[in-house]
Amino acid sequence: MVNNAVYKENCGACHLTYQPALLPSGSWAKILKGLADHFGEAIELDPESKKIIAEYLKANAADYSSTELSSKIMKSIGNQTPQRITKIPYIQKNHHEISQDVIKRESIGSLSNCLACHTTAESGVYDDDNVKIPK
């Protein structure tokens, strides 16, 4: 579960505050370095907020996490440094049966909209028991 107020406030204003354990620390560092073009948007953070967020993401990243999901993510990426959770082989493997027509539904929009189907994503729980694919 995300428990950093600065991260929640700044990043959660636009999208789900993804759990840091979903990406390795190198990925988070790349994302923070690229805020001038953050997936098509220019993001401005004051230096103190950026420092707090960077420290939080690094300390809780997949390569520093002991969760089973993080372990699977790290094994699947090898030496890659993905900047999108949706590009992680383990994540792609677990979503391969979902057609692009379903993903492109207005109620979902893209694979990065975890909350659309994973009803407990905000709590960091992504198991199949809590999945409901919207119409």
Q: Cα–Cα distance between 103 and 113 in angstroms, integer?
A: 9
pLDDT the model gives residue 18: 96
Question: What's the whole-model pTM score?
Answer: 0.91
Looking at residue 1, its pLDDT comes to 86
Q: What angle do CA 109, 24, 134 make, to 5 degrees?
A: 20
In three-state secondary structure terms, 105 is coil
For residue range 17-67, what is the model confidence (pLDDT) as tens digits? 999 999 999 999 999 999 999 999 999 999 999 999 999 999 999 999 999
Q: Can you tell me the distance from the alpha carbon of 93 to that of 18, in angstroms, rounded to the nearest whole number?
A: 19
